[in-house]
Structure 1
Amino acid sequence: MKDLEYSEKYININGSNFYMTCVGEGEPIVFLHGGPGSEHRFFLPHILPLAKDFKLILYDQRGCGKSEGSKQHNYSMADEVNTLELLREKLGYDKLNLFGESWGSMLSLLYATTYPDRVNKILLTAAIGVTKEGFETFGREVEKKLSKEAKDKLAKLEVRLKTDHSALDQIFNILDPYYVYNTEALNRKEETINNHVVNEMIGKDILNNFDLSPKLDLLSNIPILVAQGSHDILTPALIEDLLIKSIPHARIVEIDNCGHWTVVECPEKMIEITREFFS
């Protein structure tokens, strides 16, 4: 990265400080991390080769990573859409290229159906769907994969989580192996912080309010590509039903021998797909 422009800074958006990393030059791509409640370090260092051709913009969503939390202790999908729009204005871009991972894929589509004229292209990976059905199906599919021992441990930790937020890290430690095709990939994942409150509140918001069905026609002029791992918790076949059928112009590419964490598990393939799509 010595020859690349690189900066880490806080940017003030509507009175709150958001932590952001920018690296590279060229056509900008904004990365939206998953969780809800994770942070943008998930993408690093795996996507850095793209900085030779593009300007990579990564930020921690409200209350996530190093970004300031909500003063009202309230987190919602609408607030994240508003933050992204205000970030676009701050950065001075007419349109955004969006790269959304997992929950970030939902946020990408939500933003695009709210501000369709502000989006150039969308790349989704570890996609979930266009309604809460995808989020619910994801939970059921994880449940199917869990061993009895894992289920017992998770049940105890979920009780603890009500009073001890650190239990969330232990929950993810149990779940992480189910998110990859090859567990060796776990050694390549950067250690990230997860905000339990953000995870819970936005999770509830998704279950109560996430339904893009009435507004999907607004996406018709936006190129959309879905890169889904062959062994993702939501397989490419499931994503055909949960997303592609509802957005027929969207294309899907299957990444062989890969789970939910495409960026971590198959970074070279994701870099190839991303470079070709946004070029």
Structure 2
Amino acid sequence: MVDVQLTKETIEINNTKIYCEHTLNDRPPLFLIHGFLASTYTFNRVIPLLAEDFSIVAFDLPGFGNSEKSTSFDYSFEGYAQMVNDLMDHFQLNKVSIAGHSMGGQVALYTARNFPDRVDKLILLNSSGYLMKPAQKYVAASYLPFFSLFLMRYFKRVGVEKTLQNVLYDQSLINQEMIRVYEKPFLKRDFYRSLIRLIRQREGDLFSEKLSSIKHPILLLWGKNDKITPLRIGKKLAGDLPNATLKAYDQTGHLITDERPNEIVDEMKHFLLE
């Protein structure tokens, strides 16, 4: 394992501040995109392993982590894909491979579909799939006064530790650092304002017809015990994507980057460097 010297900075893309961690060099570029309610911390165990062979760019999506909770950003998947494309421009990268976890998998798929010439290969890690846009009743409710307070109370009631227990097969991985990092956004009111915009603007996942138009080589890595995006989602994605391969791991939940870092990095390297 290399001693990774990560550059951590906040940059501005189209008037939105984006938190990035990167190791840019002459190695092939790889973007890492986290999922819903997460951040670059999702990849903290795999970045040191991947940095041996790749230029890494990990970033917090607007509305999450340390990125801006903007009230003007377009929180649709189209908007996120455009931001990824603009981020490539910022770092002067013509073409990148992308690894997306959970919701980040859909961001990766939208990016590949909208900007096919700028994406080399995709890796989907327990990706979300086939979710409809939020029901109209939730969109309507988001306009009610104090809806952000309702969301705050809801997430406080559920609790971060209980959520982590739901996304990990190996409960022993839960520690105070993990709880602290995942809890941090929920303590800030502006997070809930951006979450409301996501509820209103999210257009839903890509379905079979549109997925079939994505011709890039794609590797799907999955936990067989995932309660959030079950393995059947991975199998359906593997069937709808023309050039996809699926590998699943026993005794592994949704946070595959925490539970199988060495195994998935080996698969990622083999796939990306072949």
- What is the CA–CA distance in structure 1 between the aligned matches of 2:38 and 2:214, rounded to whole Å? 27
- What is the CA–CA distance in structure 2 between the aligned matches of 1:164 and 1:204, rounded to whole Å? 14
- Alignment of 1:168 onto 2:155: yes
Per the alignment, do residues 203 and 183 of structure 1 end up closer, same or farther by CA in structure 2, a change over 3 Å counting? farther
SS in 2 for 1:244: helix
Q: Name structure 2 gaps, 5 residues minimum.
A: 136-145, 186-190
Q: Name structure 1 gaps, 5 residues minimum.
A: 137-158
SS in 1 for 2:198: helix
Aligned to 1:32: 33
Letter of the 1:132 partner, please give it. L
TM-score by length of 1: 0.79
- What is the CA–CA distance in structure 2 between the aligned matches of 1:98 and 1:168, rounded to whole Å? 30
Aligned length: 252
SS in 2 for 1:64: coil
Aligned to 2:108: 108
- Alignment of 1:210 onto 2:205: yes
SS in 1 for 2:152: coil
Q: Do the aligned residues in 1 keep the contact of 2:100 with 2:125 (CA within 8 Å)?
A: yes
CA drift of 1:118 comes to: 1.1
- What is the CA–CA distance in structure 2 between the aligned matches of 1:218 and 1:255, rounded to whole Å? 28
TM-score by length of 2: 0.81
Per the alignment, do residues 203 and 277 of structure 1 end up closer, same or farther by CA in structure 2, a change over 3 Å counting? farther
Q: Do the aligned residues in 2 keep the contact of 1:46 with 1:263 (CA within 8 Å)?
A: yes
Q: Do the aligned residues in 2 keep the contact of 1:160 with 1:167 (CA within 8 Å)?
A: no
Letter of the 1:211 partner, please give it. L
CA drift of 1:203 comes to: 4.5
Which digits, 9 at most, give the CA deviation of each residue in 1:198-249, with x for residues without a partner? 445435544x4433444334311x11000000111233234213x1221142
1:271 to 247, 253, 265: 265
Per the alignment, do residues 63 and 168 of structure 1 end up closer, same or farther by CA in structure 2, a change over 3 Å counting? same
Which digits, 9 at most, give the CA deviation of each residue in 1:29-82, with x for residues without a partner? 1000101x4211221144322111111111111122221222437632222111
CA drift of 1:24 comes to: 6.2
Aligned to 1:261: 255
- What is the CA–CA distance in structure 1 between the aligned matches of 2:171 and 2:106, rounded to whole Å? 26
Aligned to 1:15: 15
Aligned to 1:239: 234
2:222 to 224, 228, 239: 228
CA drift of 1:4 comes to: 3.8
Range with bigger deviation, 164-173 or 119-128 = 164-173
Which runs of structure 2 are paired with 1:169-208 in the superposition (5 Å)? 170-171=157-158, 172-187=160-175, 189=178, 191-192=181-182, 193-194=184-185, 195-203=191-199, 205-206=201-202, 208=203
Q: CA RMSD in A?
A: 2.8
Q: Do the aligned residues in 2 keep the contact of 1:23 with 1:57 (CA within 8 Å)?
A: yes
